[in-house]
Amino acid sequence: MSKQFQASQPIYLQIVDRICRQIVRNELLPSEKLPSVREMALQCGVNPNTIQRTYSELERMGIVETKRGQGTFVCENGNAVQELKLKLQSEIITNFVKDMKEMGLSEAEMLLGVKRHLKKIAEESHD
């Protein structure tokens, strides 16, 4: 999980985002135990306090739960994962539309571009 961090956003939020994306992609499954705070800090190359803050934020979001003496686990709540997926989808689409508008593209041009891209991906996967 050791990747470069962006200066534009707090590190703990970047790690929250990475973990959320792993959950959405089913790389982390419901009831799966996350690494200990110290272990995750070593993996990410950050201070354990940063990971503690990360886990606290994930718990506040209802994505993970901490069981005293056992560790931190991905919640089994399917609704929370679905809501997370929709939230991430909305953020990605919002950024995409903003970038395309800044390039001067119309809604029709954006849709055409997306359709062309999806068609290209479909053709490549059949090769």
Domain range annotation of the chain:
11-76, 79-126
- Provide the pLDDT for residue 1: 54
Above 90 in pLDDT, residue 2?
Answer: no
- Provide the pLDDT for residue 46: 96
Specify the 3-state DSSP secondary structure of 96: helix
Q: How confident is the model at residue 3 (pLDDT cuts 50, 70, 90)?
A: low
Instruction: Report yes or no: 59 and 65 within 8 Å, Cβ to Cβ.
Output: yes
- CATH of the domain spanning 11-76: 1.10.10.10
Residues with Cβ within 8 Å of 93's Cβ and at least 6 positions away in sequence, in order, are none
Instruction: Report yes or no: 50 and 12 within 8 Å, Cβ to Cβ.
Output: yes
N-term to C-term CA, the chain: 32
Above 80 in pLDDT, residue 127?
Answer: no
